[in-house]
Amino acid sequence: MSAWFSDLTLLGCFLCMVLPIASFGLIMIFTRNNHKLSLAISLLCSTIPLIIAWSLLYKYWDIAEPIVYNYDWILSDFIKIPFGFLLDPTSLLMLTIVATISWLVQIYSIGYMEGDPGFGNYYAFLSLFALSMLGVSISSGLLQLYICWELVGVSSYLLIGFWYEKFSASEAGKKAFVVTRFGDVGFFMGLAILTIFYGNLEIANINSAAVAQSMPPWLISTAALLIFCGVMGKSAQFPLHVWLPDAMEGPTPVSALLHSATMVAAGVFLIARIYPFFSASPEAMAVALAIGTITLLLSSTIGMVATDIKQVWAYSTVSQLGFMIMGLAAGSYFAGYFHLTTHAGFKALLFLCSGVFIHHFGTNDFFVMAAKGGRKLIIPMVTITIAALALSGIFPFSGFFSKEAILGALYHHPNKIWFLMGLLGAFLTAYYTFRVIFVMLFPKNPAPEEQHGHDEPHEEHYGVPWVMSIPLLVLATFTLILGFCQGYLERFLLGHTLHHEHNYLLLVSAVVAALSGIGLAWIDWGSKKAKCVGFISYVPALENFFKEKWYMDHFWRWFLNVFIYGTFSRLFTYNDRRVVDGGVDTVAFSTIGSGRLLSFFQTALLQLNLLFMVVVVAGVGLYLLIGR
Amino acid sequence: MKVLLFGPELYFLGMALVLFILSLRRQVNIRIDHQVALGFAAGGVVVASACLFQQGELFFAAYRVDLFSQIFKVALALGLFLVLMISHNLAHIDDRYHAEFYLFLTTCTLGLMMLVSAVELLTIYVSLELSSYSLYILVPLRRGDDMDIEAGVKYLFIGAVSSCFMLFGLSYIFGATHSTYVNEVMAKMPELVQSPIGIMGLLLTLAGFFFKLSVFPFHFWAPDVYQGAANQVTTFIATVSKAAAVAVLLRLVALGEVYGFGFTQALWILSIVSMTLGNLVAIVQKDFKRMLAYSSIAHAGYVLMGILTLSEAGYTAAIYYAVAYLIMNFTCFMVISEVANDGRNLQIVELAGLYHRNPLLGLALMLGLFALAGVPPSIGFTGKLLVFTSAMKEGYFWLVLVGAVNGTISLYYYLKVVYAAYFLEGKELPAVHIGLSTRALSYALILIIIGFGVFPDRVVELARVAVKGVLL
Amino acid sequence: MINNIETYLYIAVFLFAIGLYGVLARRSLIAVLISVELMLNAAMINFMAFNRFLAPHPAVGQICALFIMAVAAAEAAIGLSIIVAIYRKMKTINVEHATELRG
Amino acid sequence: MKFMMDLFSAEGMATLSFLGVVGLTFIGALIAVGARNIFHNVLGLALALFGVAGLFVYLNSPFVAMMEILIYVGAICIAICFAIMLSEPLYLPKPPRKPIKLLGAGLASGLIFAMLGLLMKKTTWVAAPERSTDWSITTLGHFLLTKYALIFEVISLVLLVAMLGAIVTARDGRGET
Amino acid sequence: MVEHVADFPYLTCMLLAPVVGLTIILFLKEEWHFLIRVVSLSAAAIALGLSIYTFVNYDTALGGLQFVEKYEWVKSFGIYFYVGVDGINAPLLLLTGIVIFTGVLTMWELENRVKEYFAFMLALVTGVFGVFMSMDMFVFFLFYEIAVVPMYILILIWGSTRKIYAAMKLTLYLMAGSGLIIPGILLLYATSGINTFDMIQLHGVHFAPWVQKTAFVLLYFGFGVLAAVWPFHTWSPVGHVAAPTAVSMLHAGVLMKLGAYGILRVAMFLCPDGFQYWAQLMALLAAVGIVYGVFVGLAQTDLKYVIGYSSVSHMGIVGLGLATGTIDGINGSVFQMFAHGVMTALFFSAVGYIYDRTHTRMIYELGGFSKIMPVASGYFIIAALCGAGVPGFASFWAELLVFISAVKVFPVRGLLALASIVIGALFALRVVQKTFYNEPNPKFIHYKDVSPFLGLPRAILVATMVLFGIFPRLMLDLIKSAVVPFVNGL
C-alpha cells in the first residue's frame, strides 16, 4: 500500500479513479438534496484530476516507454483480469482532454443547471461519468477499459434520461443504452475471443507484434471486427448511429461533454488504443474505412436539413466521428487521434454555445433563436462562429489542421475514392455548419415585437453568466491555438514528427471544398437575397430522404417491433404459456383426471370389486405360471 | 418365567374379560367404561414394554417371543391405547355398546398380538380371523345411516374371499412342505421357492395380509370401510391392524432367502399399482377419511417396497415405515375425531380455518400430513427414504423412481387438506376445544413425528435387531 | 383314481371355482355366504388330501380341517348376523342395493 | 362287458361310489350357487357338504367327515335357514338375472380355475419320507392338546367373539323397528 | 479433500439459530407482533453474523473443508450429520444470511398472521442453511425438502395474484423434481459399495459409466427444476409473482441457488463422467434458457413476472457456467449464484415496497415513481442495471467469467447466449422507463418514499453488490480455492 503513496504518478492515477466515485457515492447517499454541498464535492473531485492530468502530461511529455502499473483484479484460472494503469502518450492525451472538458462542463453547468431540482443528482452523474471516462483513458487492460466503457454507457443513460418525466428523454436514454449495448456485445465477444487466445487482455501485450503473429489472421480480423462493433455503438457509426441524435434530449452540457467531445470519442480512442492490433487486420481496416465514410456522408446530409440546433451538431458529431475513423482506418493513427483532440475542443464549444442560446431562449430551433435575436449574445455568437470555422476546416483554426491530416491520410490511400468522399464530407460539413451560423447571424424575418411583450425583462440584458462564458472562452482559445501544436503533438504521440511533404493539390482541394461549402451556405442562407431554402430542396425526394434520416430510425423501430417484440418475444411468450407451462398443467390435470377415471373402479358394487380382485389374482398367477 | 413370555397376551385377555363383564352390566355408564378401558390399555402398554426383551418359545414352538414380535406388541398396545385416548367421545356409537366396543378392540388387539408372535401357519390364520372378526363387528356398530352396515358387509365379504384365498394358499404350503410350522416350512423353502407351488402357495397366503394391509387388488374394502365405520374404528383399522399385518407379512416373506424373479416381480407389480392407484384416486376424494383410505393403499405399496427387497435393510425400513405410518396416520385421525366431535364424517372443507379454531390441532394435522407425504423433517420422510434406499440397494431402480414420483402426486392431495386447514377461513365454523389429554397427546405426537424423523437412529437400530431375529 | 391325490385336488379346485362363481354372481347376501362356505370346503378338501397322501403325520391335516370348520362357523355367525342387521336397516339383502359408498 | 365287470368288482364298486360322492358334491355345489330359490341353495349346500364329508371318508378320516356333517350341515345350514327366515321374504318377485354379470363371474372363476388347474398340472407332489400311520382319534386329540393347544384356545376366543358379535349386531334395531 | 474440524460448532449454531427462533415464536402469543419480529430478526442476525464469520475466517491457503462437524446420525444406513464450509458454499451461506436478514426487515410491516409467517420463514431458512452446509447426501436432501415445502403455506396465505394455483404448482413442481433426485441419490448410494451417504467418500468411488449417466441426468433434472432450467422453469415466474415480498426474495435469491448448488455439489461432484456425457445438453438448455428468459420477459406487464423471467435467464447463466466444467466457468457460476441472489432480492424488495403501497405491479399502471419515491425507485434501478450486466456490480464479474469460458467451450451456444444480453438490457430498461420515468400517475402521488429503516435492507443489498463488484477477489479467491480441486477432480 505504501507504494501507492510513494509513487506520485500511481497516486495520481489512483486519485483519478477514486475521487470521482467518492464524489458520486457521497452525493448520491448523503448530499443529494443539498445543492451547494454537492456542487462543492463534485467540483473538488474534478479539479484535482484536472490538475493531475495536466501535471502528468507535463511530467511525461518526453515519455519513451509506457508506464504500466498492474494489480490483479480477478485471478480465475485462465481468465486473469488486471486492474491497472497504462500511461503512454495515447492515454495521457485522452486523460487530459477528458479532465479538461469535464471540468469546464462542470463549471458551465453551474449556470446552466441552476435551480433544477435534480442538481445534486446531476453532479453525481457527471462524477460517475468522469470516473468512467478517466478509466477508459488510463486502463491498462482491455477488460478494464470495457468495464469503464460500460459505465460510460450507464452514466450516459442516466444523463440523457436526466429529465425523466419527459417521455422522449427516458426513451432516448433507453435507446442510447440499448443501441450502444448492441455494439458492446460485439466488443465483448471480441474480448472473449482474445481472452481465449491469450487469457490476458493487457493492452501492451495485445499491441505487441507477437500477438499478431501467433494468431491466425482470420481470427484477428474476427476479433478486430467484433471490437469494432463496440466502436460503432459508442462512436455512433452507421448503422448504430441512431441513438446519438436522440441523446440530445439530455441537458446541453451533457451533450457537450458526453455526446460530442469525450464519450463518443471513446470508440475512436479505442481504435487508437489498440491501433497496432487493429491495423494488423486489413479486413477490419477496410470495413472501418467504409463504415466511417458512410457515416460521414449520411450524417452530413441529415445535418443539412435538421432545424434543431442540437440535432445539427449531433449529426455533425456523427459525421466527424466517421471522419476520425476514416483517418484511422486509412492508416494514420495520428490524423485520427489529432482530429479527436481538436474536435473535442471545438465541438464542446459548439454545444456549450448552443447551450447558452437554448438556456436563454428556451428553444432548440435555431430559426426561432435567430428570430428572437440570438446574435445579440455576443460572446456565444463569437465563439460559436470560431467553433464553426474550426469545424469547417478553415485556417487557422484547429479543425483545419486535423482535417488536413486526415485528408492527407486518405490521399495516400491507394483507392482515391475515399479521398473524394472525404472532400465531399468536408464540403457538406462546411455547408451545414454555416447554414446554422448564417441563419443565426443574419436573421431574415425578425419575430414581431408583440411576441416579445411578456419576455420584456428578459430581453433587456443579453449578458451571459460568467460561469458559462469562461468555459466558452477557454475552449475558443484552445480552438485557436491547438492547430499550431500539431508538431508537438506528433512528437508526443509518435515519438517523431511526420515528414510533411507539402502537397498543394491536397491543401487546395481541402480549402476549396470548405470554402465552397461556406459559399453555398451563404448563397442559400446568408446573403440578403437568400431564399432560406437549402439547395437540396430542389430534389424533394432526396430532401425527404434526408429529413427522414435515411429511414434508419424507421428501420430500427421496425426491426425492434417486428423481430424482437413481434416475432421472438411473442413467439417465446406464446410458447411459454401454451407449450411449456401448458404442458406442465396438462400433466397435472391429466393426473387428476386419471384419478377420477381410476376412481370408477371403486364401484359401489361389491361383486364388481371382487371381480376385479379375482381377475387380478388370476392374472398374476397365470403370468407367473405361464412364465416358467 | 413363561408367564412373562405370554404376558401381554394374557394381560389383554384379562382386559377382554373385564370388559366382557362390564358389558354385562345393566346400568350403562360410558365414562366408567372408557376410563376402565383406557386404564387397562395404559397398563397394557406398560406390560408390553416390560416384556419387550423377552425371548423364548411357547406352545411347542408354535409361538415365538422375540424382539421382533415384542416390538410390534408394544406398538399394538400403544396403538390401542392411543385409539382409546381419542375414544372419549364415541358419539356415533350407541351408549349401550361402548363396553362391547372396547371389548372388540381388545380382542382384535389380542388377535393381532398373537399374529405377530405366531410361527405356525394355522395359528396365524386363526389369529388373523380373530382380529378380523372383531373388526367385522366393530364396523357396523356405528349408529345412524346405512353407510356403516354397507361398509360392514363389504368388509366382511372381501375379507372372507381373501381369507379363502389365503387358506387355499396355506393348504398348498402344507401340501408342499408337509408342515404348518414356520421353521419347518422355512427349512423346505429354499428348494421350493423355485417351484410354482411354492410361489403360488406363498402368494395366495399373502393374500390375507394384503387384505389387511389393503394392497392392490385386495384394497377395495378400504375406502368404503374407512368412510363407513366410526372414526375411532377407522383409526384402529388404519393404524393398529396395518402394523400387525406388516409384521406377519415380513415373517412370511422372510421365509425364503432367495426367491425367483417371478415372486419379487409379482410383489413389485402390486407395489407399484398400489402406490399409483391409491395416490391417483385419493386426489379426487372429498371425504377426509376416504382420502386417507386411498392414501393407506398407497402407503401399503411403500411398505411392500421395503418388504420385497428381501433384505435386512429392507425389512428394517419396512418396520420403521410401518411404525411411522401408525403414528402419522394416527395424528390425522386424532384431528378428525376431535374436529368431528359429533362423530360425523369429515369433509375436507370442514377443516377450514383449523389454524384459528385450534392452532395446536392445525399444527399437528399439518405435520401429520406432511409426514404422510414424506416431507422432512418428519418420521414419514425418513421412513420413505429408508425404504427407497433399501429398494435401490437391491437394484429396484424403476420401483424407486415410481415411488418417488408418487410421493409428488400424494403431496397434492395432502396439500389440499393443508390448504383447507390453513387457508380457508371457516369463520362460521365453531372453535374446537380439546381436553388436556388430547393436548398432551398432540404435543407428544408432534414431538415424535419430528423427533424420530430427525433422530431415527434408535428406532432403526431396534428394528434392525428385530429383523435379525426373524431372519435367523 | 380314488387313491390319487390329484383327483381330490382337482375336486377342490373345481369346488373353489364354483364357490367363487357364486360369490361373484349371486345377488342375495345369503347365497354369497353359502358360496363362501363352499370355498372354505374346497380348502378343507385340500388339507385333507395332503394329509392323506403326503403329510408325515395324519393328525395335522385333520386338525386343520377341524379348525377351518370352527372358523367357518364363526364366520357364518357373524356374516348372518350382519345380513340380518342389513335387512333390518335396508329392508333388503340384495347386495346390489348397497351402493352408497363409491368413488 | 369288461367295463361292466370291472364296475361290479370290489374296486369298481368303490370307484362308482366315489364317483357318486363326487357327483353329489358337484351337483350340490351347483345347486347351491345356481338355484334361484334361496332355500334350494341351502339344500344344495347341504348336499355338497354331504359329498365333501363322503370325500373325507375316502380320505381316511371318518371323524372329520362326522364333524363336517355335524358342524356344517347341523349347525351352519340351520343357522342359514334361520337367517333366511329373518330376512327377505321368499315370495317377493326376483329381478331378472343380468347375463353380463354372470358371464363376468363365470369368466373370473374360470380364470381362477385355469390358474389353479395349471398349478396342479405343473406340480409334482412329493410325499414325506417318513409317514406315520397313526390315524387314531386319540392321537388327534393328543395333538390338539400339545402342538395345537394354542390355536385350540384361540379358536374358542374366536367363537366367543363371533357369538358376542352376532348378538351385538343382530340385537340392534329390534327396538327401533 | 482436507478437513479442518471446527473448534466451535459455528455451523450448527448457524443452523440452530433459526430453529431456536422458530421454537420461541411458537410459544409467543399471536398478538405480540413486535416481539415476534424482534425474535426473528435476532435469529436472522445471529445466522448472518455466523455466516459472515465463516466467510471471513475461511482460510483459503488451507483450503478444503473447514469448520467441519461430523456426527453419526443413522449408523446402519451410513448417514452422518456432516457439515463443513468450503469455497463453494461459503458465499452461499453468506448470501442466505444476508437475504434472510434483509427479508425479515423487509416484512417488518406485515400485520396478518405474523407469528405463523415468521415461523414458516425461519423453517424455510433452516432448510436452506442445512442444504448449503451439509456434506452428506441424505442430510442434504432432507434439508432440501425442508426448504421447499414451507413455501406452499407462505405463498398460500400471504401471497397475491393466483396464489392458490401458484402455491400448488410451485410446490408440486419442486417436489416432482425431488422425486427425481431421490432415485438419483439412492442410485449412487446403492452402487457405491460403501455404506455411506458421505459425499466426500462417495467422490472417491468410481461409479460405473451407466450409473453416472443415469444418476447425473436424474439429479440434473431434479435439481434443475429448482434452478429453473429451461423448460422446467414455468413455476418460477408464477411462484415469484404470487409470493409475498420476502418470500420472493428468499425464493429467487436463495432457493433457486439450491438447485444449482445441488447440480454442482452432488451431480457433478459425484458423477464426473456423467457430467461429461450430459454437458452438451446442459449447455444447450442453459443457453436456451438465457435467450428465452429475456425474450419472454420482454413481453410481460407484471413487474414480478419480468423479474421472474430475468431470473430464468440469469439462472441460465449459472447453468451455462456449470456446463463448461472449467474452473473459470464454475467460478463464474458460483459467483453468479451469489450475485444473482443479492440482485433479485433487491429487485423483489424494491418491487415489494411499491406493491405494498399501490397494490399493483402492472407496469402500465405505474409510472414516474422516480418522482414519487426516488429512493425506492433508485434501488430498483440499481437492480435493473445489475440485471443488465453493468460493471461495478458483482453480477458483472460472474457473467464475464461464465460467458468467456462458455464461448471457449461451446462457441455457438456461448455466443448466442452472449448476444441475448442486449435484449437483457432492453428488457431491464424498458421496465425502468415505464415504471419509474415519465410523468407520475396522480393516483399514487401521495405515497411516501421509503423510510431509512425500511430502506436499510435494500441498502445492505446494494452495498453487497457494490462491494463485491469493486473487489471481486474478496469472493473469487474464496470460490477458486474450492473450485480448482473440484474441477481437477472432474
The SS3 call for residue A69 is: strand
Q: Is D63 on the interface with B (CB under 8 A)?
A: no
Cα distance between residue E184 and residue E271, in whole Å: 11
Residues in chain C with CB shorter than 8 Å from the CB of A606 are 95, 98
- How far from the centroid of its chain's Cα atoms is residue A579's Cα? 42
Chain D closest-CA separation from residue C64 CA (Å): 10
| Placement of cell 395345537 in the chain | D148
Q: What is the mean pLDDT of residues B125-131?
A: 90
Query: Cis before residue B217, ω within 30 degrees of 0?
Result: yes
Task: Look at residue E323 in the predicted model and tell me its pLDDT.
Answer: 92
Q: What residues contact residue E273 under an 8 Å CB cut-off, 6+ apart? A: E207, E209, E212, E213
Does the pLDDT value for residue E118 go beyond 80?
yes
Among A284, A279, A168, A187, CA closest to A226: A187
Say whether the D–B interface has 3 or more Cβ pairs within 8 Å.
yes
Better-scored residue on pLDDT, B329 or A500:
B329
Question: CB distance B137–D158 less than 8 Å?
Answer: no
Does the pLDDT value for residue B254 go beyond 80?
no
Question: CB distance A604–C20 less than 8 Å?
Answer: no
Neighbours of D30 (CB within 10 A): 16
Task: Look at residue B472 in the predicted model and tell me its pLDDT.
Answer: 61
> Which residue of E lies nearest to B386 if distances are taken between CA atoms?
E77
Q: What residues contact residue A76 under an 8 Å CB cut-off, 6+ apart? A: E327, E328, E331, E332, E401, E476, E480
Say whether the C–A interface has 3 or more Cβ pairs within 8 Å.
yes
Question: For chain D, which residues make up each domain, given as ranges?
Answer: 14-92, 137-172
**Structure-derived torsion over alpha carbons of residues B302, B306, B308, B313, reported in degrees to the nearest 10:** 170
Q: Is A621 on the interface with D (CB under 8 A)?
A: yes
What predicted TM-score, i.e. pTM, was given to this entire model? 0.89
Q: How far is CA B12 from CA A59, B24, B46, B293, D132, in A?
A: 105, 18, 12, 28, 39
The SS3 call for residue E234 is: coil
> Which residue of E lies nearest to A184 if distances are taken between CA atoms?
E422
Residues of chain C with pLDDT > 70: what percent?
A: 98
Strand partners of residue E74: E79
Q: What is the mean pLDDT of residues E234-239?
A: 88
Residue B49 belongs to domain spanning = 2-471
Task: Look at residue A456 in the predicted model and tell me its pLDDT.
Answer: 44
Question: CB distance C1–D15 less than 8 Å?
Answer: yes
Express each pLDDT in B353-396 by its tens digit: 888 888 889 889 999 999 999 888 889 988 888 899 888 888 88
Does the pLDDT value for residue E94 go beyond 90?
yes
> Which residue of A lies nearest to E421 if distances are taken between CA atoms?
A185
Partner-chain residue, chosen from A608, A615, A626, that has the shortest CB–CB distance to D111: A615
Partner-chain residue, chosen from A147, A161, A576, that has the shortest CB–CB distance to E296: A576
| Placement of cell 343382530 in the chain | D170
Does the pLDDT value for residue E1 go beyond 70?
no
Q: Is A77 on the interface with E (CB under 8 A)?
A: yes
Question: CB distance B175–C50 less than 8 Å?
Answer: yes
A87 membership: H or E segment, kind and range:
strand A80-87
Among C1, C23, C17, C13, CA closest to C46: C13
Chain A closest-CA separation from residue B4 CA (Å): 41
Q: What is the mean pLDDT of residues B185-213?
A: 82
Task: Look at residue E98 in the predicted model and tell me its pLDDT.
Answer: 92
Q: What is the mean pLDDT of residues D124-151?
A: 83
Residues in chain D with CB shorter than 8 Å from the CB of B111 are 154, 157
Residues in chain A with CB shorter than 8 Å from the CB of E370 are 164
Residues of chain B with pLDDT > 90: what percent?
A: 20
Say whether the D–C interface has 3 or more Cβ pairs within 8 Å.
yes
User: Which grid cell is A617?
Assistant: 389374482
> Which residue of D lies nearest to B132 if distances are taken between CA atoms?
D158
Class of domain D14-92: mainly alpha
Segment among A60-69, B167-176, D72-81, E274-283 with least mean pLDDT: A60-69
> Which residue of B lies nearest to C31 if distances are taken between CA atoms?
B157
Q: Is D162 on the interface with B (CB under 8 A)?
A: yes
Q: Predicted ipTM?
A: 0.88
* Helix (H) and strand (E) counts in chain E: 22, 3
Query: Cis before residue A239, ω within 30 degrees of 0?
Result: yes
E234 φ, ψ (degrees, to nearest 5): -65, -20
What residues in chain A have per-residue pLDDT under 70?
Answer: 1-5, 199, 210-212, 445-463, 498-502, 627-628
Residues in chain E with CB shorter than 8 Å from the CB of A150 are 390-391, 396
Better-scored residue on pLDDT, A441 or B165:
B165
User: Which grid cell is A162?
Assistant: 436526466
Residues of chain E with pLDDT > 90: what percent?
A: 27
Q: What is the mean pLDDT of residues B137-141?
A: 86
- Name the strands in the sheet holding E79-85, side by side, starting at the edge strand that comes first in the sequence: E3-5, E65-74, E79-85
Task: Look at residue D164 in the predicted model and tell me its pLDDT.
Answer: 87
D87 φ, ψ (degrees, to nearest 5): -110, -140
Task: Look at residue D7 in the predicted model and tell me its pLDDT.
Answer: 63
Q: Is E10 on the interface with B (CB under 8 A)?
A: no
Express each pLDDT in B48-84 by its tens digit: 888 888 888 887 778 888 888 888 899 899 999 999 9
> Which residue of B lies nearest to D167 if distances are taken between CA atoms?
B137
Question: CB distance E407–A78 less than 8 Å?
Answer: no
Question: CB distance B377–E76 less than 8 Å?
Answer: no
Task: Look at residue A501 in the predicted model and tell me its pLDDT.
Answer: 65
User: Which grid cell is E216?
Assistant: 447425473
Does the pLDDT value for residue B6 go beyond 50?
yes
Q: Is B174 on the interface with A (CB under 8 A)?
A: no
Q: What residues contact residue A380 under an 8 Å CB cut-off, 6+ apart? A: A353, A356, A357, A464, A469, A472
> Domain total for chain B?
1
* Cβ–Cβ under 8 Å, residues B373 and B410: yes
In this prediction, residue E20 has a pLDDT band, given cuts at 50, 70 and 90, of: very high
Express each pLDDT in A424-464 by its tens digit: 888 888 888 888 888 887 777 655 444 444 444 444 456 67
Question: CB distance A625–D101 less than 8 Å?
Answer: no
The SS3 call for residue A83 is: strand
Q: Is D29 on the interface with C (CB under 8 A)?
A: yes
Express each pLDDT in E336-372 by its tens digit: 999 999 999 998 888 888 888 888 888 888 877 888 8
Q: Which domains does chain C have, with CATH numbers?
A: 5-97 (1.10.287.3510)
Question: CB distance A610–B158 less than 8 Å?
Answer: yes
Q: What is the mean pLDDT of residues B158-180?
A: 89
User: Which grid cell is B378?
Assistant: 418428519
HSE of E92, CA atoms in CB hemisphere, 13 A: 31
